[in-house]
């Protein structure tokens, strides 16, 4: 239990001076950041999927792996 407690509080030093409402505000801000990053990540995944589909339709040979030992 002691090791687990120490692991959980090890990086918490910069948060000890904050009030409860400041901690809640920071948490809400971090959650919003994570949501924005998740949305950006999904947009990038969609872009890559669309790009791969276009390549497969127009020039699939670009995706072939050529062996350098031929």
Per-residue pLDDT of the chain (70 residues; tens, 9 = 90+): 556 666 666 778 888 899 999 999 999 999 999 999 999 999 999 999 999 999 999 999 998 888 776 5
pLDDT at 16: 86
pLDDT at 70: 58
DSSP for the chain?
Answer: -HHHHHHHHTT-GGGTTS-HHHHHHHHHHHHHHHHHHHHHHHHHHHHHHHHHHHHHHH-GGGGPPPPTT-
Contact 52, 60 (CB under 8 A): no
pLDDT at 65: 86
Domain region containing 38:
17-59
User: Is the pTM here over 0.75, yes or no?
Assistant: no
pLDDT at 12: 80
Residue 70 lies in a domain: no
Residue 7 lies in a domain: no
Q: For the chain, how many structural domains are there in total?
A: 1
Residue 66 lies in a domain: no
What is d(CA 64, CA 70) in angstroms, rounded to the nearest whole number?
Answer: 14
Residue 22 lies in a domain: yes
Residue 64 lies in a domain: no
């Amino acid at each position: 239990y002691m090791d687990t407690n120490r692991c959980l509080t090890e990086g918490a030093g910069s948060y000890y001076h904050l009030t409860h409402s400041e901690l809640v505000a920071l948490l809400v801000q971090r959650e919003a950041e994570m949501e924005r990053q998740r949305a950006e990540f999904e947009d990038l995944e969609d872009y890559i999927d669309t790009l791969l589909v276009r390549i497969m339709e127009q020039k699939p040979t670009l995706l072939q792996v050529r062996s350098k030992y031929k």
